[in-house]
């Protein structure tokens, strides 16, 4: 999942800290629609369920989940819009 994330500069950042399922996915879906193909979104979440949810959402939506990292309770996701 980190493949291709080096040099990926997010053009949009969303903070989903304090939000729980399904809101991090809902906010990510809304935000990614505003991007051009190839642009990268950063999403932050403290919902432990967001890790498997984002992986499933990226696979189903066809977008590239470039990176998943965790610092303490905060997950950071980088997603590249592909469609």
List residues with catalytic annotation: 21
Cα–Cα distance, 41 to 8 (Å, whole number): 9
Are the C-beta atoms of 8 and 38 separated by less than 8 Å? no
Does residue 40 come out as left (phi exceeding 0), alpha (psi in the -120 to 50 range) or beta? Answer: beta
């Amino acid at each position: 999942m980190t493949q291709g994330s080096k040099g990926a500069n997010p053009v949009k950042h969303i903070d989903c800290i304090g939000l729980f399922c399904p809101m991090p996915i809902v906010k990510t879906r809304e935000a990614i629609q505003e991007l051009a193909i190839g642009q990268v979104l950063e999403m932050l979440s403290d919902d432990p369920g967001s890790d498997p949810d984002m992986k499933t959402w990226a696979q189903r939506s066809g977008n590239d989940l470039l990176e998943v990292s965790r610092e303490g309770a905060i997950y950071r996701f980088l997603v590249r819009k592909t469609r």
